[in-house]
């Protein structure tokens, strides 16, 4: 703090003085004090990673230099701090500030984003459920090109498949997919047909993979929450023959696609609703998540409720709800009363 005060005082004198010799002398003195501030703040942050004043002092000095090498040094320092304090909020905030500065002066962010992604994975492996690390990675999505979004989606798939209880990674994948969808709507040109097929395949592949995980890892809520996101956007944007291509959804075609999708979801419901005689509660949780998912889908898309009522024998879903999650069985009656009220 003493070095910082000394650094600020001669700078003010330099601005007020008009003598070139004095200005030159003060400038040299400031360089010395600047090195002191950077040295002491670095030592302090290695001892106390969330000392905000030290981070802010470094921001002040770095912003006055604006050299690419200085920015990279700051990224290296914050990475060092995070190596022993992976949940340091101030360190992650400083990192985002540096990247913003780099983005304003650098045309290509590809290499920076690649290294940031690798750093987050390393930090997430060292400390489980590291929300701050994943929040940083989600923040990076806004700087990614379409190619980088697809690369990140493929890259994070293996990590997510090994840690299916960590909802943060699935949240990151959802942001990537939404950004890919956004890129399609922003690119209405000659290449739009390629974007349509690519975006369609991204969603289809994710839905199929999610179903595999649900069947393999029984009773994991994060997987069912991810499926809700996938199903909702599938119905909205892909229910008609690659409906994004023409933006014209023919009623019969849409109904057919919804029915095919719901047929698969009801098959998944049936396979997940089998509760064997076992001491493990995972199968009970799996049946509960499956029934709740179908109820949620019926509420979000009215056509889905009609198909569910047609496909399942009268009262079957309610019986399943009573068996799998008795505390939620009343929701089916609530949906019925909502439909009657709507018709009236």
Percent of the chain with pLDDT over 90: 44
At residue 198, the pLDDT reads: 86
At residue 336, the pLDDT reads: 56
At residue 47, the pLDDT reads: 95
Over residues 233-286, the pLDDT tens digits come to 998 888 754 444 444 444 445 567 788 888 899 889 888 887 776 666 788 889
Q: Is the pLDDT of residue 23 over 70?
A: no
**Mean of pLDDT values over 121-145:** 91
CA distances to 23, 24, 33 from 28, rounded to whole Å, are: 9, 6, 9
**Which pLDDT band, with edges at 50, 70 and 90, does 3 fall under?**
confident
Contact criterion met (CB below 8 Å) for 262 and 205: no
Q: Is the pLDDT of residue 166 over 60?
A: yes
If one counts every other C-beta atom within 10 angstroms of the C-beta of residue 305, the result is: 21
At residue 306, the pLDDT reads: 75
At residue 248, the pLDDT reads: 41
Alpha-carbon span 237 to 229, nearest angstrom = 12
**Mean of pLDDT values over 113-121:** 93
If one counts every other C-beta atom within 10 angstroms of the C-beta of residue 99, the result is: 22
Using alpha carbons, select from 113, 104, 111 the residue that is nearest to residue 139.
Answer: 113
Alpha-carbon span 219 to 77, nearest angstrom = 42
**Which pLDDT band, with edges at 50, 70 and 90, does 340 fall under?**
very low
Contact criterion met (CB below 8 Å) for 109 and 143: yes
**Which pLDDT band, with edges at 50, 70 and 90, does 105 fall under?**
confident
Q: Is the pLDDT of residue 109 over 90?
A: no
Half-sphere exposure of 27 (CA within 13 A, CB side): 8
Percent of the chain with pLDDT over 70: 76
Least confident range of 17-31, 189-203, 263-277: 17-31
DSSP conformational letter for 313:
P
At residue 10, the pLDDT reads: 61
**Looking only at Cα atoms, what is the longest distance across the chain?**
94
If one counts every other C-beta atom within 10 angstroms of the C-beta of residue 279, the result is: 4
- 257: three-class secondary structure by DSSP: helix
Alpha-carbon span 191 to 196, nearest angstrom = 9
Alpha-carbon span 317 to 321, nearest angstrom = 6
- And the tokens for 236? 């909205």
**Which pLDDT band, with edges at 50, 70 and 90, does 170 fall under?**
very high
**Which pLDDT band, with edges at 50, 70 and 90, does 165 fall under?**
confident
Contact criterion met (CB below 8 Å) for 219 and 283: yes
DSSP conformational letter for 240:
S
Using alpha carbons, select from 147, 200, 139 the residue that is nearest to residue 175.
Answer: 139
Over residues 64-73, the pLDDT tens digits come to 887 889 999 9
Most confident segment among 153-157, 195-199, 311-315: 153-157
Rounded mean pLDDT of the chain? 81
Using alpha carbons, select from 247, 240, 225, 238 the residue that is nearest to residue 297.
Answer: 225
**Which pLDDT band, with edges at 50, 70 and 90, does 31 fall under?**
confident
If one counts every other C-beta atom within 10 angstroms of the C-beta of residue 183, the result is: 17
């Amino acid at each position: 703090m003493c070095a910082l005060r000394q650094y600020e005082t001669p700078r003010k004198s330099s601005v007020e003085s008009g003598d070139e010799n004095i200005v030159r002398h003060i400038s040299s003195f400031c360089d010395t004090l600047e090195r002191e501030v950077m040295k002491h703040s670095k030592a302090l942050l290695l001892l106390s990673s969330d000392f905000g004043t030290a981070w802010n002092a470094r921001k002040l000095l770095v912003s006055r230099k604006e050299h690419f090498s200085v920015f990279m040094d700051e990224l290296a320092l914050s990475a060092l701090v995070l190596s022993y304090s992976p949940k340091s909020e101030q360190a992650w905030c400083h990192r985002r500030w540096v990247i913003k500065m780099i983005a304003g002066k650098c045309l290509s962010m590809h290499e920076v984003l690649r290294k940031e992604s690798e750093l987050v994975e390393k930090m997430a492996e060292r400390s489980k459920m590291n929300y701050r690390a994943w929040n940083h990675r989600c923040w990076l999505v806004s700087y990614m090109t379409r190619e980088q979004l697809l690369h990140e989606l493929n890259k994070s798939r293996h990590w997510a498949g090994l840690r299916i209880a960590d909802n943060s990674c699935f949240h990151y994948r959802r942001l990537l997919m939404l950004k890919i969808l956004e890129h399609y709507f922003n690119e209405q040109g000659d290449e739009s047909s390629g974007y349509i097929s690519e975006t369609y395949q991204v969603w289809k592949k994710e839905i199929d993979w999610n179903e595999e995980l649900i069947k393999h890892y029984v009773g994991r809520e994060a997987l069912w929450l991810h499926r809700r996101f996938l199903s909702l956007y599938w119905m909205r944007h892909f229910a008609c023959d690659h409906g994004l291509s023409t933006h014209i959804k023919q009623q019969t075609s849409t109904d057919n696609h919804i029915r095919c999708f719901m047929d698969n979801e009801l098959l998944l419901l049936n396979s997940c609703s089998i509760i064997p005689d076992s001491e493990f509660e995972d199968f009970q949780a799996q049946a509960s998540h499956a029934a709740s998912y179908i109820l949620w889908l019926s509420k979000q898309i009215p056509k889905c409720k009609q198909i569910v009522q047609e496909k399942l024998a009268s009262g079957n879903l309610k019986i399943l709800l009573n068996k799998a999650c008795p505390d939620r069985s009343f929701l089916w009656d609530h949906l019925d009363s909502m439909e009657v009220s709507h018709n009236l």
